[in-house]
Amino acid sequence: MTVPAFRDPALTPEQRADDLLSRLTLEEKAGQITQYFYVIDPEAADEQARVVEDAIRTGRAGSVLFVRDASVANRLQRIAIEESRHGIPLLLGFDVIHGLRTIFPVPIALAATWSPEVIERAQSVAAREARAVGIHWTFAPMVDIARDPRWGRMVEGAGEDPVLGAAVAAAQVRGFQGDLSAEHVIAGPKHFAGYGAARGGRDYDDAEISDSELWNVYLPPFQAAVDAGAGNVMSAYMDLNGVPASGNNWLLTDVLRDHLGFDGFVVSDADAVRSLRTQHFARDLTDAGARALSAGLDMEMCMADPAFGHLPEAVAAGRVAEAAIDTAVRRVLIAKLRMGLFENPFTDEVASTSVVTAPEHKALARATAEQSLVLLKNDAQTLPLDAARLASVAVIGQLAASKRDTLGPWVFDHDTEEVVTILDGLRQRLGDSVAVEYAPGVGIPRRLVPSFFDNQDPSVEETADDHDDEAELRRAVGVAEASDVAVVVVGQRQNQAGEFASASTLDLPGRQVEQLERIVATGTPVVLVVMTGRPVDLRFAEKNVSAILQVWYPGTRGGEAVAATILGDVTPAGKLPFTWPRHVGHVPMIYSHNRTFKPADQGRRYWDEESTPLYVFGHGLSYARFEYSNLRLDAERIRVGQSTVVTVDVSNVSTRDADEVVQLYIHQRYGTSSRPLRQLVGFQRVTVEAGNMRTVRFPLGPDELSYWSAATRGRVQDATTVDIWVGGSSAADLGTVLEVTG
């Protein structure tokens, strides 16, 4: 018997895909572009597994998600290869968001490193662990710009800025995909597009985004991810300007394919195709499948009863062309072929264990966390603490000792026992010479509506309702009072951030602020540690506490990173990837807004609250001290289309080696559109040794100076005067001016 052409590795993936495509029935084609959830409800696990296995066997499933165990991956793969008609391997996808077994800091924390190298390395480890257990594809990175911190998924992205967001997106794609060899996975930037703009920060709500915001703010991270070679894109759930993103031909074809140049395959978000009916856009499931596919969506992710299962009917009724189905199937087959799945479909179950438990992965998780911490405030050099001068440290707050919360949301395959909490980290670091006394203090109230992820995760710790707040508060205050210093850890539980975790306030939940007030009143110096994935109301702390450290959800070895930073083994250098408002009423507040009719009054717009943010975008302090000088341009006058170079000297005038994130901002004084007061156009995280100076250079040309204008409905670069600032935050005051002539 001759071997079919699609099995011949000497042919190109495209030739092999064409051959295979010609052998498939219409039903089998629909099957290749259908992806099933494998067991999401532990209560009905056996039944769901049976349904999925049957779909694989009969050619009705080409991909499965949520498999995270090597033996299950191999078992399903064996069914596909040995029991289905053509033996086409499955593509196995999973949400590998910030690690698989080794958990790295949450994505917003990765963004706070402002280091594409660090981010790429972290995600390459996540990819290695994922691939070892048989996962081929991650539903990450989330590259949605988030400007409303009520939206819980801000934690999964890179914050408010398109330039930082683009750099972080590209770094993650490079880390996940690498050269797509045996240690890498396909990356799927999501959610295309505009999901972060959900009205009111309410998850899944519709988004109304102007063209100018779409092109200038929401699309650049996707462009960067596509340019970095992302093999997949996930479509969003919500209506974008009245049309569901997952059924939007303009978005999925004109923008994604024709404009951004994407040539991989598009998957829907979970059940987003069926949801076209739920959202009252499609008439029925057949209509939903036909319209999603025709719009440019290649694969449906679904729980059950896929809309794509109705595609054969839709073809028969003339509602979709079989050629459109062929295009989608071909893209999916090419992805499988490029990954080498026809040659190597299985994973090594024995080896997978040593990969996911590799000590060097844990060490990298710690190093990454160290780079992500943001020192928000540090008066009178409160930090770092000097262990030699301390006899006792109080550690207060449930989050200080919660293994599960330290990991953050969107992790399913961790081993909670491996987690080093902040309390563990401080105890380890301080040893026996300093007495560390822990008090959990007040509880953190549970979510009103349980998170649907909690049932996936038996390790979720919830103690709020099980203890006496008043007694715990008194004990915490007593412990703080009796200690030389109190490290008070406040924040939100991990399931109060993430998907389906919108918040109506930015207040710290429960009585955490009241407890902080009582601790501050004891006179014991306080170091406030904030564990959240979004800004919270820190007005009291900013006024009354001398040191504040934002630690996000720092991951498996997060507690070591926090302890090392508090005690000065590490100098913090993370910077905020978003503007930190004072109060929920400030939301949305971004640094890159336009000038107003009353520029002088910009900082005085509320009568009941300061109009400035609590901390500006790009803010983050250091134990070292940096001075910026000698800002210069290679050419102070250029023509439209030409480039110059911005150069600055950054001196470390302290006695500590440290990193600094050098940031370049511009503003144009007049032009086709009004432009933001400040706009980040470049950044570099550099290490500057104590007493040394580094010269940092940034290119500045059409890429940085052009933008999409609603006046011309296209990209323009103006002849104008451009203000330039370089410094360690968006409040940088060292400036110069560039003239751009026509």
- Taking the least distance from each CB to ligand NOJ, the nearer of 452 and 670 is 452
CA distances from 575 to 45, 163, 169 (A): 43, 14, 17
Q: Nearest to residue 565, comparing CAs of 620, 646, 635?
A: 620
Q: Which amino acid is at 99?
A: G
Told to check if 139 binds ligand NOJ by CB under 6 A, we report: yes
Site residues (CB under 6 A) for ligand NOJ, limited to 371-430? none
Give the Cα separation of 76 and 362 in Å (integer).
Answer: 30
Q: Is there a contact between 320 and 290 (Cβ–Cβ < 8 Å)? A: yes
Q: Which residue's beta carbon is nearest to the bound ligand NOJ?
A: 139
Q: Is there a contact between 167 and 113 (Cβ–Cβ < 8 Å)? A: no
- Taking the least distance from each CB to ligand NOJ, the nearer of 91 and 576 is 91
Give the Cα separation of 466 and 496 in Å (integer).
Answer: 18
Q: Fill in the per-residue mask, 248 to 277: x = in contact with ligand NOJ (CB under 6 A), - = not in contact.
A: ---------------------xx-------
Q: Nearest to residue 499, comparing CAs of 276, 265, 237?
A: 237
Least distance CB 475 / ligand NOJ (angstroms): 40
- Taking the least distance from each CB to ligand NOJ, the nearer of 139 and 222 is 139
Site residues (CB under 6 A) for ligand NOJ, limited to 78-137? 95
Least distance CB 95 / ligand NOJ (angstroms): 5
Least distance CB 225 / ligand NOJ (angstroms): 15
Q: Exactly one of 144, 148, 405, 499 binds ligand NOJ (CB under 6 A); which one?
A: 499
Least distance CB 97 / ligand NOJ (angstroms): 8
- Taking the least distance from each CB to ligand NOJ, the nearer of 95 and 370 is 95
CA 343 to chain centre: 33
- Taking the least distance from each CB to ligand NOJ, the nearer of 61 and 270 is 270
Residues 6+ apart with CB under 8 A from 470: none
Compute the residue count for the chain.
742
- Taking the least distance from each CB to ligand NOJ, the nearer of 139 and 708 is 139
Q: Nearest to residue 266, comparing CAs of 234, 291, 244, 222?
A: 234
Give φ, ψ of 696 to 5 degrees.
-115, 135
Half-sphere exposure of 356 (CA within 13 A, CB side): 25
Q: Which amino acid is at 700?
A: L
The residue from 206, 239, 269, 271 that is catalytic is: 269
Least distance CB 139 / ligand NOJ (angstroms): 3
Q: Is there a contact between 668 and 653 (Cβ–Cβ < 8 Å)? A: no
Least distance CB 242 / ligand NOJ (angstroms): 20
| Pairing mode of beta strands 626-633, 637-639 | unpaired
Strand order in the sheet with 637-639: 637-639, 734-741, 720-727, 658-668, 679-688
Is the CA virtual torsion 614, 501, 148, 373 positive or negative? positive
- Taking the least distance from each CB to ligand NOJ, the nearer of 264 and 676 is 264
Site residues (CB under 6 A) for ligand NOJ, limited to 514-543? none
Report the run of H or E that residue 34 belongs to, with start and end.
Answer: strand 34-37
Least distance CB 142 / ligand NOJ (angstroms): 7
Half-sphere exposure of 328 (CA within 13 A, CB side): 32
Q: Nearest to residue 400, comparing CAs of 283, 531, 279, 310?
A: 531
Q: Fill in the per-residue mask, 7 to 36: x = in contact with ligand NOJ (CB under 6 A), - = not in contact.
A: ------------------------------
Q: Nearest to residue 67, comparing CAs of 134, 149, 141?
A: 134
Least distance CB 288 / ligand NOJ (angstroms): 17
Least distance CB 190 / ligand NOJ (angstroms): 6
Least distance CB 736 / ligand NOJ (angstroms): 43
Site residues (CB under 6 A) for ligand NOJ, limited to 589-618? none
For the question of residue 95 being annotated catalytic, the response is: no
CA 517 to chain centre: 33
Q: Nearest to residue 553, comparing CAs of 574, 536, 531?
A: 531
- Taking the least distance from each CB to ligand NOJ, the nearer of 248 and 717 is 248
Report the run of H or E that residue 547 belongs to, with start and end.
Answer: strand 547-550
Give the Cα separation of 517 and 126 in Å (integer).
Answer: 40
Give the Cα separation of 551 and 529 in Å (integer).
Answer: 7
Q: Is there a contact between 237 and 246 (Cβ–Cβ < 8 Å)? A: yes
Give the Cα separation of 498 and 424 in Å (integer).
Answer: 25
| Pairing mode of beta strands 547-550, 526-531 | parallel
Q: Which amino acid is at 437?
A: E
Give the Cα separation of 356 and 132 in Å (integer).
Answer: 8
Least distance CB 40 / ligand NOJ (angstroms): 8
Binding residue count for ligand NOJ, defined by CB under 6 A: 6
Give the Cα separation of 350 and 133 in Å (integer).
Answer: 10
In angstroms, the first-to-last Cα distance of the chain is 70
Give the Cα separation of 667 and 662 in Å (integer).
Answer: 17
- Taking the least distance from each CB to ligand NOJ, the nearer of 190 and 534 is 190
- Taking the least distance from each CB to ligand NOJ, the nearer of 95 and 160 is 95
Least distance CB 338 / ligand NOJ (angstroms): 21
Catalytic residues: 269
Contact residues for ligand NOJ (CB under 6 A)?
Answer: 95, 139, 190, 269-270, 499
